[in-house]
Amino acid sequence: MSTFSRQTIDVMFGNEPDVVTIRIGGSSTAIVGHVIDTDTDLHGNVERIYLRQLIVRPDPSIEYQGWIPTGCFTTILTRQQVSNS
């Protein structure tokens, strides 16, 4: 039986469109991420953020909430889909 830990990733856009603030696991320490590009849905909501640097190394033993990280040289954050069930 495998046990997953849970970790929330919160992302906030500020005044600069190419900079985000990231908090991982409720930490009070903020990480500044430099945005290369974003993907949006039909309503203009950001669904994916491409960052210039590796901020979060994906860990298969962690169940991520909020945003799901991928990437090995840079971080790609994909908004977690919320189920309506």
| Ranges of each domain in the chain | 5-79
pLDDT at 14: 87
pLDDT, tens digit (0-9, with 9 covering 90-100), for 16-68: 989 999 999 878 899 999 999 999 999 999 999 999 999 888 898 999 999 99
CA–CA separation, 37 and 48 (whole Å): 8
CA–CA separation, 6 and 64 (whole Å): 6
CA–CA separation, 84 and 28 (whole Å): 30
pLDDT at 2: 60
CA-based angle 76:71:66, to the nearest 5? 45
pLDDT at 84: 61
User: And the tokens for 24?
Assistant: 């991982």
Among 31, 21, 25, 29, smallest CA distance to 6 is for 25
